[in-house]
Structure 1
Amino acid sequence: MVKCLTKAHQKMNASRDQFDKAMGQHAEVLAQLEELETLRSREKEAAEAQREALEAQMLVAKEAHEAEKAAREILEAELEEVKSRVARDAERLRLEGKEEFLKSREFDTLLGKKAGGFFKNGFFGCVAQWRANGYPEEEHPATFLNVQQAIAEMPDEEEIPEEEEDEDEEEGGVGSEATPPSSPLS
């Protein structure tokens, strides 16, 4: 029996040693588990803080984008307004320039040259038609067929009496849309 008790006692001591060893391991595992849970909670808090920071950045970026979009729309509206104002001003200046040109001496000179050219070509055309149709110049000399003489006999604008100018202005003036008198040859 002593042997049995000794064996039982040794077995119990071995079991106690194993139990103590297991309890030590259990305590180590619990400590590691607590450490892991602490790390996990810290990582979770860090991830939550990072997520909140990213959401805040996204909100700021979204607000900045909206502000830029609104500013762009305002600038585009201002640009369109400036373009339309420039177009109106350009048209007004073009019309003013046109009116000034029509009143200028240069326009009168150009118009005189063109009118002289049309008169000369028309005059020579009429003379050619009369000659082609057998107008007898020898029997009926026509002094008006001389271009230089006809131009010399034309009254200057300055020589037109004021009464005739007033009548021209009442009838629409020079350059009006009134129809010219019809030619006796037509």
Structure 2
Amino acid sequence: MQEQKTILTEKAMARTLDRLASEIAERRGENENLAIIGIQRRGADLAERLKKLLDQSLGRRIPLGKLDINLYRDDWTNLTRQPSINCTEIPFDIEDASIILVDDVLFSGRTVRAALEAVLDFGRPRRVELLVLVDRGHRELPIRADYVGKKIDTQDNQHVNVLVRERDGDDRVVLVS
């Protein structure tokens, strides 16, 4: 039987997103070319929440995009099932923009590598910064997040599940052993 331990409750997750939005506003709030791109699926959901928080705190509308990285994965030919393809929607020019790339969990770094490749197919942003709700370590590539909600130490055989109300009807982060 699998054990589950709650890492972030609904309230803690909301506080964490508030803090992350404040960090972005502090570092990049003056930048008029600030935009957010969420990695499909749960990264896109979190990006939408961050956008709302930033729109409110900065008093302007921050452009929001959604990015599907499945065709950029380096393991798609080894998967036992076909990847689920989601849509990519980047309705703004990323040329010279400061992009906040949002994902739910940072693990090996391979998803972020694929996302960077996908973003560069749309143009050359001024900078790309990575925001993750959870950093669980175990990197296989030299990638680190610029904004981290919670860092936890995990074992290779454990999983971190981020549940969001938009998809799962619940907000919380669970460590599964």
Give the TM-score normalised by structure 2: 0.20
Bigger Cα Rg:
1
- Higher relative contact order at CA 8 Å, sep ≥6: structure 1 or structure 2? 2
More strand by share: 2
More helix by share: 1
